[in-house]
Structures are given as C-alpha cells and as structure tokens.
Amino acid sequence: MRYFIQLSYDGTNYHGWQIQQNAHSVQEEVEKALAVISREKIEVVGAGRTDTGVHAAFYIAHFDSAHEGLADENMLFKLNCLLPFDIAVQKIFQVRSDAHARFDATYREYKYYFSRTKDPFTHAYAEKESRKLNVVRMNEAAKMLLEVDDFTSFSKLGSDVKTNNCTVTKAFWEEKGDQLIFTIRADRFLRNMVRAIVGTLLEVGLGKMTFDELKAVIDKKDRSSAGASVAAKGLFLVDIGYPDLM
C-alpha cells in the first residue's frame, strides 16, 4: 500500500529534508519513526528538497508499506510520539499505488518573512530588515519573474539538475504590521532559488538595482550577477498542490 504523509517541521536543526552522509535530515527522522511503527524498512520520498535551515509549514511525502491501517488516528499519535519536537505529522492517508509526492505535485509555494522591528518571538523565523524599502518597486520587479523561463541566475552553483527552467505563477510582497512577506509559487524550484530572488529584489527596493539591471541579471544566466542570498531562517514552504489527490 502507498501512503501520503502530511507534515511540518522547523528546519533549524536539520540539513534540509533529504538524507545526506554525515548530516542530520528530516527524512532520516521520519523514516526511523515509520520503521518502528510498521516494523519494516521504510523509504520515504519527499515532494522535494528544502535547503539547510529552511522550514516547512506544509510538506508531503509518500512511502510504501505491506501493512494496512497505517492511516488511522492511533498510528498518527504513535508517529508523533516518536518524532522529535520539531517535526509534526498532521495526516496520513492511503493513495493509489502510482501516486508520487514529487512528480504529481503541480506547484510549490514559499513565503519569506522579514521583521521590521526587533522581536524576540520571531527572531528565529524571520530576518530582521529595518532599512527603508520601496515595496511598490519590489512588487513591480517581482512581476517580471512571471515572464522568466530560465532561473540559472538564481540557482546555487554546481546544482545537479537537468534544466534550470521553472514556471513562476505568483510572486508578490505584502506588509502585515511589522512584517514584510514575500510569496512565490512555481511548478518547481532550484536550490537556493527563493533566497537568491529575495536578496536580489531587496536590491531593487533599496534603489541599488533598476528594472533594466534586473532584466540583465536574469538574461546573463550567471549566479554571481544576482544579489546575495538571504538567511534560511525566514523561508517557509507553505503549500504544495496535488489537484487529483488531495
């Protein structure tokens, strides 16, 4: 049987979702807990990577098991008891045998949070940004991303992917109280892509980069031409779309 698992995690103490040698990952913790409950070796396939220190308010993975009944409330309770405090499972449900957490996802959505004031309660989950920013211009610049195909300029160097093409369908800034929030949705994301985009749009908001210069950065397909990446702690994966499964 194939199951989907919906979870959330604080990425502070992890080197991202994916299992790596000599590094602590979310995937590793989930696989260990599921193996204890099912009493079998479990391999969990996630919807995609998240970078070191990045959080997920909404994440989907799938796994196969010979056991029925793993989607009930009792199993959910046991799983959450086994998982560390910074990983929580909200739902487990059975899906068709060919459903895939990564390949069936039609979009991913991220939010990046800035705090405009010193706040001890958001310090770990939002980057401090007290400089004067032109948010109107930043939103105009964000709209340009909807027309871009190749995001090489915002991809971490040395990434092992077949293509750097992505389709962005949503990108905007909003101010809520003392928070400044950037939202972006795309069919796929490259390593470090969101953080590099945010850092580059900040350059526009600070008046250090014009719209023409931003277009030139995109056209160069050169990571060194774009702005510096912002810190991981402010980035959250908040939604993944599965129109035929959820």
174-212, pLDDT tens digit by residue?
999 999 999 999 999 999 999 999 999 999 999 999 999
Class of domain 2-95: alpha beta
Q: Is the pLDDT of residue 159 over 70?
A: no
Q: Give the residue from 50, 52, 69, 74 showing the smallest Cα distance to 60.
A: 50
In the chain, ranges of CATH 3.30.70.580 domains? 2-95
CB-based burial of residue 114 (10 Å sphere; 0-12 exposed, 13-18 middle, 19+ buried)? buried
Residue 162 pLDDT grade (very low, low, confident, very high; cuts 50, 70, 90): confident
Could you list the active site residues?
51
Residues 78-85: contacts with CB under 8 Å, at least 24 apart: 78/37, 79/33, 79/34, 79/37, 82/32, 82/33, 82/36, 82/37, 83/29, 83/30, 83/33, 84/29
In the chain, ranges of CATH 3.30.70.660 domains? 107-241
| pLDDT at 30 (0 to 100) | 97
68-92, pLDDT tens digit by residue?
888 888 889 999 999 999 999 999 9
216-237, pLDDT tens digit by residue?
999 999 888 889 999 999 999 9
Fold of 107-241: Alpha-Beta Plaits (3.30.70)
